[in-house]
């Protein structure tokens, strides 16, 4: 065990579905050894992590880093700093940037910024259609070697024939379609869930049907084409049922939801932009169906759908604010507090949905075994504190979880064995 460079000593280490008190040595960007005891003198850098908890790095399959085109909302640098501060070591970024990555020159603008500024691993999505306009296919063949799937996230592909063509091309290229499922003809100018809360406040609602009808259409196309198909930000119980049935039928279908859909519903709404996102917070029954999907394996990942905006864009109430909330720095604290500590979801399921399962969707390794990349995160658990977005690395501070008392705090994130974020507690004398 000579020539080891970094030692993580004394942490409770997540392996094989539970914690073990172990030392972890890192060298050359990978995990070099995991043992009950590794001598500190064998390493150049030692982190004393007693009373802390070491996990594989979290993986987020759905974030918006806003650059190029919208750097006043977020940049590659600020967004990946936020990711690292939330325990994430890899993220897949969505294509609603400018220029939209619908051909190789447009994608390269984004890749240059990633190579220059990213603090964690960033895997971009390419567009399904030119300019995400839903009229003709993007240059999928040229993009395929450099992207982690094809998406028009932010808008659904309205024409079934075009989506079928996209699926056939994606299948040929060995890449997934990453679908924002939304039938624009059913939106009716809504901006909250079409339920009792919207009706009581006189607000136009977004129906669950606007999501699940397009899920239903696309699942028929998956059956026809065999294309790997991933459904973004699932919010409706009907969508959950359709996805569960599709999986039981053996279709190559995966899905994600976000922390706010698992923890909140339209009963929690306030007339504040931090509660406005697309899809909207739905009913209590929808929330409960998503928690059950997390428990029974229907859900493949919890993704943040981190979607930062400028301060003024989120200061106009529910009616006038932009859709989208920031989530990278809140995700694990709110999920651990709201699901695990309440008994709604076992910790092994939460860790799987943040690590191994989303990593498999992206085709990247995850774990704490020798030879695997040293992409790791360390948390302090069960030390209550109040979630304060004003301290975040992200440029976007709008979240429905502001002010929530949470019981988890990220203190260290390593990417390739090097610190991407560090805020270790001062040891007690």
Q: Of these residues, 266, 286, 305, 349, which one is catalytic?
A: 305
Of the candidates 125, 286, 305, the one whose C-alpha atom is nearest the C-alpha of residue 212 is 286
Instruction: Tokens for 154, please give them.
Output: 């932010």
Of the candidates 184, 120, 124, 127, the one whose C-alpha atom is nearest the C-alpha of residue 150 is 127
What is the rounded distance in angstroms from the CA atom of residue 429 to the CA atom of residue 155? 55
What is the rounded distance in angstroms from the CA atom of residue 34 to the CA atom of residue 53? 15
Alpha helices in 336-400 (DSSP H): 347-354, 356-362
283 φ, ψ (degrees, to nearest 5): -80, 170
- Angle, vertex CA 153, rays to CA 150 and CA 155, nearest 5: 125
Whether the CB-CB separation of 405 and 386 falls below 8 Å is answered with yes
What is the rounded distance in angstroms from the CA atom of residue 111 to the CA atom of residue 117? 10
212 φ, ψ (degrees, to nearest 5): -70, -25
Q: Name the 3-class secondary structure at 190.
A: coil
Number of neighbours of residue 42 by Cβ within 10 angstroms: 15
Q: Look up tokens 């075009």; give the residue.
A: 162
300 as an active site residue: the answer is: no
Q: Which residues pair with 54 in a beta bridge?
A: 13, 378
Q: How far is CA 52 from CA 15, 23, 259, 427, in A?
A: 15, 12, 23, 11
Whether the CB-CB separation of 345 and 294 falls below 8 Å is answered with yes
Q: Which residues does the annotation mark as catalytic?
A: 305
């Amino acid at each position: 065990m000579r020539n080891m460079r970094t030692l993580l000593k004394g942490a409770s280490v997540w392996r094989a579905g539970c914690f073990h008190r172990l030392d972890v040595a890192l060298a050359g960007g990978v995990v070099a050894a995991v043992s009950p005891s590794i001598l500190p003198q064998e390493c150049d850098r030692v982190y004393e992590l007693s009373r802390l908890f070491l996990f594989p790095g979290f993986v987020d399959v759905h974030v918006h880093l806003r650059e190029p085109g919208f750097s006043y909302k977020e940049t590659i640098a600020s967004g990946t700093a936020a990711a690292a501060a939330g325990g994430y070591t890899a993220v897949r970024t969505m294509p609603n940037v400018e220029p939209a990555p619908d051909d190789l020159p447009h994608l390269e603008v984004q890749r240059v910024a990633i190579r220059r500024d990213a603090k964690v691993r960033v895997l971009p999505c390419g567009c399904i259609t030119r300019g995400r306009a839903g009229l003709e296919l993007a240059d999928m063949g040229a993009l395929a070697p450099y992207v982690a799937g094809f998406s028009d996230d932010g808008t659904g592909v309205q024409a079934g024939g075009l989506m079928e063509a996209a699926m056939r091309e994606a299948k040929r290229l060995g890449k997934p379609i990453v679908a924002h499922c939304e039938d624009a003809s059913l939106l009716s100018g809504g901006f909250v869930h079409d339920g009792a809360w919207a009706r009581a406040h006189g607000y136009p609602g977004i129906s669950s049907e606007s999501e699940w009808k397009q899920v239903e259409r696309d699942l028929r196309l998956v059956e026809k084409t065999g294309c790997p198909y991933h459904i973004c930000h699932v919010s409706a119980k009907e969508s959950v049922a359709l996805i569960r049935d599709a999986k039981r039928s053996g279709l190559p279908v995966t899905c994600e939801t976000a922390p706010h859909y698992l923890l909140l519903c339209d009963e929690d709404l306030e007339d504040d932009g931090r509660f406005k996102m697309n899809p909207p917070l739905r009913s209590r029954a929808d929330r409960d169906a998503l928690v059950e999907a997390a428990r029974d394996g229907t859900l493949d990942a919890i993704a943040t759908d981190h979607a930062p905006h400028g301060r003024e864009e989120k200061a106009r109430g529910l009616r006038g604010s932009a859709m989208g909330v920031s989530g990278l720095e809140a995700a694990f604290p709110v999920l651990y507090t709201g699901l695990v500590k309440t008994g709604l979801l076992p910790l092994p399921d939460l860790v799987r949905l943040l690590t191994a399962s989303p990593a498999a969707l992206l085709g990247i390794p995850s774990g704490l075994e020798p030879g695997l990349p040293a992409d790791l995160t360390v948390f302090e658990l069960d030390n209550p504190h109040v979630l304060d977005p004003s301290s975040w690395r992200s440029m976007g501070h709008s979240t429905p979880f502001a002010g929530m008392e949470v019981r988890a705090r990220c203190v260290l994130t390593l990417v390739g064995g090097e610190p991407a974020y560090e805020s270790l507690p001062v040891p007690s004398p």
